Structure 1
Amino acid sequence: MSMNPETVASIAVTVVTGVTGVWAARAARRTPRQEKRDDFAVVTKEIRTSLADVKKELAEQKAETARQSERIGDQALALEWLQRRLRDILARVRDAGLEVPPAEPIPERARRHIHIDV
């Protein structure tokens, strides 16, 4: 059985194409080491992103804490001023011989912070 040259050429081209395809597929395959390296890079990037988010959130919390601390300090100053003013008014009312109207009971939680005889 003899093959004509075109058939032989066709078979040769098919074999070469097949071998080239197998070689290309083998060359394109990633090694386990490359996969681990890429996985590590992805995990590292995710950790860095998460760390950046945590740092940003911590900075926001510190700024909020500073604002709240300043606000609490201002409120404490205002309450101290009000207590002094109330003492002065009560002293003048008593000096004038007048009776101070009875006050409502002080809530238990507020009692810890009020140091005045009302």
Structure 2
Amino acid sequence: MTVDTWIQAALALVGTTGGVVAARSARRTRRQERRDDFLAVTEQQGKAIERLEKRVAAREAEAEKQRERISDQDEAIGWLLHRLRSVVSHMKKAGLEPPAAEPMSDRAARYIHHMDV
């Protein structure tokens, strides 16, 4: 073997070693992969939680509107019942008899069965 052959062999060995070292250093470790997976999952969970919080806030706002609407309807029904009683009372004082009431549905009876209508 000549000196040129030895030099070429040494250069080939250095090149190969450098390539192996470069490939090894460019590869990510298992710990790095796990950390990145954890970060990705954590980020996705954070976004999902934000979406759920928005949904809950919207549902709570809608529930508050419905509670207010039901309260207003309850007050309106109370006023109507009072007005009906006053009309019936006025009719009886005038010597008139109010017409017979139509049958009440079971759903309505749950709310006004205790009323004398």
Please indicate, yes or no, whether the TM-score normalized by the shorter chain is above 0.5: yes
Structure 1 residue 109, shift from structure 2 partner: 1.3
Structure 1 partner of 2:68: 70
Structure 1 residue 77, shift from structure 2 partner: 0.4
Please, which runs of 5 or more residues in structure 1 have no aligned partner? Answer: none
Structure 2 partner of 1:117: 116
- Aligned match of 1:22 in 16, 20, 23? 20
Identical counterparts, % of pairs? 46
Structure 2 partner of 1:52: 50
| Counterpart AA for 1:36 | R
Residues 33-73 of structure 1 deviation map (CA, whole Å, 9 limit, x = unaligned): 00110011011111111111111111111111111110110
| Paired positions, count | 116
Normalised by the size of structure 2, how large is the TM-score?
A: 0.82
- Aligned match of 2:86 in 64, 85, 88? 88
CA contact (8 A) 1:90 1:100 kept: yes
Structure 2 partner of 1:39: 37
Q: Where has structure 1 moved over 4 Å in runs of 4 or more?
A: 7-18
Distance 2:57 2:78 in 1: 32
Q: Which moved more, 1:54-63 or 1:80-89?
A: 54-63
Distance 1:58 1:38 in 2: 30
- Aligned match of 2:100 in 99, 102, 108? 102
Structure 1 residue 16, shift from structure 2 partner: 5.1
Distance 2:87 2:10 in 1: 113
Give the alignment's Cα RMSD to 1 decimal: 2.3
